[in-house]
Each structure stands twice: as C-alpha cells, then as structure tokens.
Amino acid sequence: MRIGTVDIPENLSYTNTHLWIKMQNGICTLGWTDYIQENAGDVIYLELADIGTPIEVDQEFGSIETSKWVDKLYSPLNGRVVEVNKKATSRPEVVNEAPFAEGWFVKIEPQSEIGFQHLMSPLEYFEYLKLCEVE
Amino acid sequence: MASPDTVRLSIAAAITLGFKRGKFYRNARLGCINLLMEYDDGCKANCLYCGQAREASNDPECKSLIRVQWPSYPLADVISATKEAALTDSSLQRVCISSLTSPGAPEDLLKIVKEVKTGTGLKVSTLITPTAFKKSDLKAIKDAGAENITIAVDIATPELFNKLRGKEARGPHKWDRYIRGIKEAVEVAGNGHNAVGVHLIIGLGETELESVRFIQTCYDIGSRVHLFSFFPEKGTAMEKQFQPPMDQYRRIQLARYLIDRGLTQFDNMRFKSGRLADFGLPTRKTLAIVRQGTPFMTTGCSGCNRPFANETPTQAMQGLFRNYPFPPDPKDIQIIQNQLKI
C-alpha cells in the first residue's frame, strides 16, 4: 500500500506516533515508518534503551534527532527490550535508507497479551496519514 | 561550479525551500534564507573555530558551518524557490548572503545581491569580511539593494582575534582592519544600529567583561551586535573545546539586550573576576526584562532566527537552547531564570 511516495507494508501494525510493529515468534520489532522518516529528514542521532530494560506503554525507549528536529520514542506495549539495533545507533542514516529492514530500532518481548496501545492496521494507518497530511 | 553561479544553502533554508526533507523542533519557522558563497579552492582564511577554514580537515564538498552541512545549488534555482516560498510563508522576510575570504568575493557578492534583490523582492543582508572588502565595495553592495551589512568580527579582544583568526592562526585577518571595516560600513550604510551588524561568538576564551566591553564599543561606533554561542565544529582545530557555560551566555545575552535598548551601558556594569555581577539596573527591573524572554531570542537582522544553529535539537529539548528562534514560553522563561544565576 502507498500514499504518495510513502510505503505502508501490509504485514505490519502501526501507531499514531509513526512506529511500525511486527510480531513474530512472540517478539515485537519496532521501527520508524516510511512517512515519518521522509518528513523528519536525515537522521543524525539515535539513542535506544539497553537490552533488558523493562518498558511500559507510553514509556520512552529512545530518542531520535535530525538536523533541526528531535523527538522521543515511546513504546506502544509493555515488555522488556531483548535486542537493540546497534547498526542503527552507530549509523543512523540506515533509518532513512531502510526503515522497514536494517533501520529497525528495538525488539521487545511483550509482557502479556494485554498492555498494548491501540495499534492501527495498514488501512487505518493509510487513513491516518491522510489526516496528517491535511494538518 | 562556484559562486556566483551556485551558492550553498543552510540545511534550515534547504528544508524551508523544499530542496531537502525535514522539519523543525517545536515547529520553528525560518525567517531568513541563508546563502553561503562557494569557491573550488574554498576560503582563504583559517579561523580555528570555523568549519570553512583553509586547514579544516573536511574536504570542500562536505564542510560544515555553524553546526550543519551547507548543500550547493544553482543560484537561479534558489532565487525562484525563495520567491515562491515567500508567497505562502509569511515568516520569510529576508535573504542573507555570506561571503568567504577570497579575492573574487566582492565582485561575486555584488552580482548575487543584484540577482537576489531583483528576483525575490525580499530584504537582503550581506555578511562580509573587511579583509577582502574595501569601503567602495560596501557602497556598491548598498547601491545594489542590500539593506544590511554585517561583519563577523566573532572575537571580543585583539589578542584572541590574532590567536584564532590572525597571524598566529596562519590566517590573513587583522583586528584593526575589522574595526575600521565596521566604521566604514556605518559610514556607508548609515547609523541607527539597524543597518550594520557585528557577529560576536561567546565562548572563545574571552571573559564576560571583555565581551560586554566589545559589545559597547560596537554600539558606540553605530553598529548592532548579533550574538552566537560557540559550538565545536568537527574537523576544526577547536573541535574538542566545550560550549561556553549556559549562565555565561545568558548573562551576555541580557547585557547585550540592555545595551541595545539603551537601558544601561558597560560603564554602569560591575564585574567580579571578569564575570558580570551587576547590570547597572535595579534587580527588580532586570528580572522583569528577563521575564519578557526577548533578550534570549536569536539576535540578527530583522527576521533572522537561525533555528538550532548553536545547539542541537536534543540540547534544545533538554532546555539548553542558546538562542530561542521563537518567543520563549513561560516554561522556557522559568528555565532561563534558573540558568542566569543572578
């Protein structure tokens, strides 16, 4: 699925803070969507929580900076960080180059079925981006 | 390609004009499109803190200035994009053209000023070096339509100037020529403090007394000071030096503002071991001015706000703005009051 030049892969879930989430073998991988990486600019600094860090919904798990902008990264789920993408922290431009592949942020082991922020389907995220564009 | 056919754009300007993707923290809006002239052989000067310095380790293609890269574009494209952007973006008020120290700079800057003025209709500022520009060059620039002439003296004392920009730094700049250049610019552009600006960087080894004394000197000559906070540029001789302490920068911002508004002057201020201890105003009045927040906003020609030029966005997020590119909100002002330590 695409909106303009922006990719919305159909096998992922999305948050309203423009994170994508992929659930596989009981582990959630989180990353930045194509939309936000396209709009925020070239990533020059990425800081991520350490492996083992317990994370709750809406709790900060990192921060990301472009040349003139910065924001914190907030978790959409409860759990524990089990893997951190060191390649992305040492070479942040990979977040722009491959947001859905080598540019992922962290892998989180969810604490339970509950404790997930509302996630959007690709279609819902598509509609949400239309609203973002209007704003 | 080189100037005047091409110019470099600050990243903020490139984003604003749509040449680069990106956005601004806290929705800051750029008020001035900053252009930088470029030459194949770069800048002839060797200022030890500057990313454009002759001996800085980066190659000419990737040299930074005030913290960010400056991508190159054809001047004609920049002019048409600026004109178009100004139609819909009321924040955009001005174009500032910075020259390098190069023998061809006066002639090339003149061509750029004429084209930018005609092509955009916006106000035009120029940043020149008295090493390369004579008084007659300044007059030609003014006659071509530039409203403002700015001189980057950068350093508050002749000794430090010589050490960081002059002979000791294997550079061509001379303090006396710079001070004479300010006077020439005032003679050409007129007094009233709005037409002639002087850049001053805080954090290059000077004391607060030296900074404020220099600021007062500039106002006495008839110019106005634009403040910068030192930021270590990668690849320069000073890349490992720290930014100045926040309380020092805040006090200099406040002193500059008070002098600028004619509320006090250097002779009324008191210093303890070089540090500003008394602004020469009743404390209640000083604090009331602090609470307005205006003294801590970016200083420059009207419209110039240089968002996140002297601090990273992450520092800004932590409350460590050096120059606020917009009016500080009540939370910002609380932070500023704590930082000031007065």
Task: Compute the nearest-CA separation of B14 from chain A (Å).
Answer: 11
Chain B partners within 8 Å of A69 (Cβ): 22-25, 313
d(CA B272, CA B91): 41
Taking an 8 Å cut-off on Cβ atoms, the answer to whether A69 and B316 are in contact is no
Task: Assign residue B171 the CATH number of its domain.
Answer: 3.20.20.70
What is the rounded average pLDDT for all residues in chain B?
94
As for how many domains chain A has, the answer is 1
**Chain A nearest-CA residue for B307:** A68
Question: What share of chain B has pLDDT > 70, as a percent?
Answer: 96
User: Would you say residue B315 lies in a domain?
Assistant: no
Would you say residue B159 has pLDDT above 70?
Answer: yes
Residue range of the domain that includes B218: 6-243
Of the ranges A102-116, B144-158, B200-214, which one carries the lowest mean pLDDT score?
A102-116
pLDDT tens-digit map of B18-75: 999 999 999 999 999 999 999 998 999 999 999 888 888 555 555 667 677 789 999 9
Taking an 8 Å cut-off on Cβ atoms, the answer to whether A66 and B314 are in contact is no
Burial of A2-13, coded b for 16+ CB within 10 Å and e otherwise, reads ebeebebeeebb
Higher pLDDT, A109 or B341: A109
Residue range of the domain that includes A43: 2-134
**Chain A nearest-CA residue for B69:** A67
Chain B partners within 8 Å of A72 (Cβ): 317
Task: Compute the nearest-CA separation of B71 from chain A (Å).
Answer: 13
pLDDT tens-digit map of B129-150: 999 999 999 999 999 999 999 9
The tokens for B156 are 């508050």
Of the ranges A2-6, B190-194, B280-284, which one carries the lowest mean pLDDT score?
B190-194
Q: Are A78 and A59 in contact (CB under 8 A)?
A: no
Chain B partners within 8 Å of A93 (Cβ): none
Q: Are B56 and B233 in contact (CB under 8 A)?
A: yes
Residues 6+ apart with CB under 8 A from B173: B45, B47, B101, B129, B131, B161, B165, B166
Taking an 8 Å cut-off on Cβ atoms, the answer to whether A66 and B308 are in contact is no
- Predicted local confidence at residue A114, as pLDDT: 55
Strand-pairing partners, residue B33, are: B95
SS3 at position A61: strand
Would you say residue B301 has pLDDT above 70?
Answer: yes
User: Would you say residue B227 lies in a domain?
Assistant: yes
The tokens for B255 are 């002193």
Closest to A66 (Cβ–Cβ): which among B22, B28, B317?
B22
Distances in Å between the alpha carbon of B48 and those of B63, B157, B229, B233?
14, 15, 15, 10
Residues 6+ apart with CB under 8 A from B246: B320, B339
β-pairing, A54-55 vs A79-84, is antiparallel
- What is the distance of C-alpha B237 from the center of its chain? 20
As for how many domains chain B has, the answer is 1
How would you write chain B as a 3-class SS string? CCCCCEEEECHHHHHHCCCCCCCCHHHCCCCEEEEECCCCCCCCCCCCCCCCCCCCCCCHHHCEECCEECCEEEHHHHHHHHHHHHHHCCCCCEEEEECCCCCCHHHHHHHHHHHHHHHHCCEEEEEECCCCCCHHHHHHHHHCCCCEEEEEEECCCHHHHHHHCCHHHCCCCCHHHHHHHHHHHHHHHCCCCCCEEEEEEECCCCCHHHHHHHHHHHHHHCCEEEEEECCCCCCCCCCCCCCCCHHHHHHHHHHHHHHHCCCCCHHHCEEECCEEEECCCCHHHHHHHHHHCHHHECCCCCCCCCCCCCCCHHHHHCCCCCCECCCCCHHHHHHHHHHHCC
- Predicted local confidence at residue B168, as pLDDT: 96
Indicate the pLDDT class of residue A97, thresholds 50, 70 and 90.
very high
The CA angle B159-B164-B168, to the nearest 5 degrees, is: 75
The pTM (predicted TM-score) of the whole model is 0.93
User: Would you say residue B39 lies in a domain?
Assistant: yes
Rounded CA Rg of chain B: 19
Would you say residue B265 has pLDDT above 70?
Answer: yes
Indicate the pLDDT class of residue A13, thresholds 50, 70 and 90.
very high
Q: Which of A42, A69, A71, A96 to mutate against chain B (most B CBs within 10 Å)? A: A69
Indicate the pLDDT class of residue B299, thresholds 50, 70 and 90.
very high
Would you say residue B105 has pLDDT above 60?
Answer: yes
Chain A partners within 8 Å of B234 (Cβ): none
Q: How many CB pairs under 8 A join A and B?
A: 57
User: Would you say residue B42 lies in a domain?
Assistant: yes
- Predicted local confidence at residue B55, as pLDDT: 83
- Predicted local confidence at residue B54, as pLDDT: 86
Task: Assign residue A70 the CATH number of its domain.
Answer: 2.40.50.100
SS3 at position A46: strand
Would you say residue B89 has pLDDT above 90?
Answer: yes
User: Would you say residue B223 lies in a domain?
Assistant: yes
Q: Which residues of A touch B (CB under 8 A)?
A: 38-42, 45, 63, 65-72
* Start-to-end Cα distance in chain B: 51
**Chain B nearest-CA residue for A47:** B314
Taking an 8 Å cut-off on Cβ atoms, the answer to whether B313 and A38 are in contact is no
Would you say residue B312 has pLDDT above 80?
Answer: yes
By residue count, chain A amounts to 135
User: Would you say residue B61 lies in a domain?
Assistant: yes
SS3 at position A110: strand
Rounded to two decimals, the ipTM of the complex is 0.88
Question: What share of chain B has pLDDT > 90, as a percent?
Answer: 90
The angle, 0 to 180 degrees and rounded to 10, between the axes of the packed helices B208-221 and B246-260 is 20
User: Would you say residue B289 lies in a domain?
Assistant: no
Chain A partners within 8 Å of B314 (Cβ): 45, 63, 65, 70
Q: Are B303 and B197 in contact (CB under 8 A)?
A: no
Category of B293 on φ-ψ map: left (φ > 0), alpha (ψ -120 to 50) or beta:
left
Task: Compute the nearest-CA separation of B227 from chain A (Å).
Answer: 20
d(CA A112, CA A101): 26
DSSP 8-state code for residue A10: T
Closest to A67 (Cβ–Cβ): which among B11, B316, B317?
B11
